[in-house]
Amino acid sequence: MRRKACSTAGLLLALGLGSANGGEATPGAAFQYPQYDEVVAWVPAGKAATAAIAQGVVHIELYRARRHAADTLCDNGAPPHGRLVHRDGPYPVQLPAKTGKAWLYRLARVSSDRICNTTNATFLRTLSSFLPEWIVVRGANRKVAWRQGKAVTAGTTARLMVRR
């Protein structure tokens, strides 16, 4: 157990995680950078006590999902990813009563037209099928986002926070 905790701590340090400013997230559009592939995560407070841990949890989930999606779609198994161009949060947010508190974290990456001999949209849909329900992905210039392999309309932050 101690070895696992040390490994996780080492991974979080390697990711270069810092603490967030602690400000409240602003309501509005969940996806704010239409020209990029975006990830929006609402990390349940029970999974992360601090912003730094929430950030680490999201990156670990994305890494695992990217590996699984690459194994499914790519011949060489190399998980593709674009250059990170924006990171916002994590910020504490209050979700509807059923869900409680969470950390809102947004990432935007440069998009690629073709990934592993398939479209970017197909790769992102597959990627989303390996992610927890509290992470939603959207491809650049798309009106549809993906949650666990299913299409959801990209709308306001409040609309996407709750699974429908």
Which whole number is the average pLDDT over 16-31?
42
Nearest Cα to Cα of residue 124 among 134, 104, 109: 109
Give me the torsion for CA of 112, 32, 58, 42, rounded to 10°. -140
In a domain, 150, yes or no: yes
Q: What would the pLDDT profile of 68-118 be if each residue is shown by its tens digit?
A: 998 888 876 666 667 889 999 999 988 766 667 899 999 999 887 667 778
Residue 23: pLDDT band by 50, 70, 90 thresholds?
Answer: very low
In a domain, 13, yes or no: no
In a domain, 8, yes or no: no
Residue 9: pLDDT band by 50, 70, 90 thresholds?
Answer: very low
Lowest mean pLDDT: which of 20-29, 43-52, 120-129? 20-29
pLDDT of amino acid 108: 92
In a domain, 5, yes or no: no
Are 133 and 163 in contact, with CB atoms under 8 Å apart?
yes
Are 111 and 119 in contact, with CB atoms under 8 Å apart?
no
How many angstroms separate the CA atoms of 161 and 133, rounded? 10
Per the structure, how many domains does the chain have? 1
Which whole number is the average pLDDT over 31-37?
80
In a domain, 116, yes or no: yes
Q: What is the pTM of this model?
A: 0.74
Name the residue type at position 101. K
In a domain, 1, yes or no: no
Are 128 and 61 in contact, with CB atoms under 8 Å apart?
no
Q: Which single residue is written with the structure tokens 């190399």?
A: 78
Residue 87 structural domain: 29-161
Phi, psi of 64 (to 5 degrees): -60, -45
